[in-house]
Amino acid sequence: MPQPVDPRVLGVTVAGGVIGVFARALVVAPVDDPAAVPWVTLGINVAGSLILGIVVGWLDDRRPLTRAFLGTGIMGGFTTYSAFAVATALWITTPLLAAGLAAASVVAGVGGALAGLFLGRRIADRPGRIELPEDAE
């Protein structure tokens, strides 16, 4: 049976999401060249993956409200899979460029997340291997 949603977690996640979406809009709005938007989106997603990795590595399972606000909320609102998907789909007339954008987004995003986890664990002074989901308690 699904667990009920804690209204506090929902509230801080929504508040963080508003901040993250606003931050993304501040970065994208000044871009005048439509051809640059996919690259800006790539940068946003990679930076967001790095920061999300830091948040997860730093907080781990501690402070669930802070993690929901910063991670799921702000970074979830700041990064955007849908904009990445649309940018890639719009470049389908140039398949190599579309595939390169998709590959760069995934590889750089995962790389950013790994670097962020490493940095976050260092900030928390809890170095160690990255725990796999199946090893989590």
Question: Where is the binding site, in residues?
Answer: 76, 79
Tokens (6 digits) for 77: 């609102």
Element of type H or E holding 49: helix 37-59
Residues comprising the binding site for Na(+)?
76, 79
Please state, in angstroms and rounded to a whole number, the distance separating the CA atoms of residues 56 and 60.
5
Provide φ and ψ at 12, rounded to 5°: -70, -30
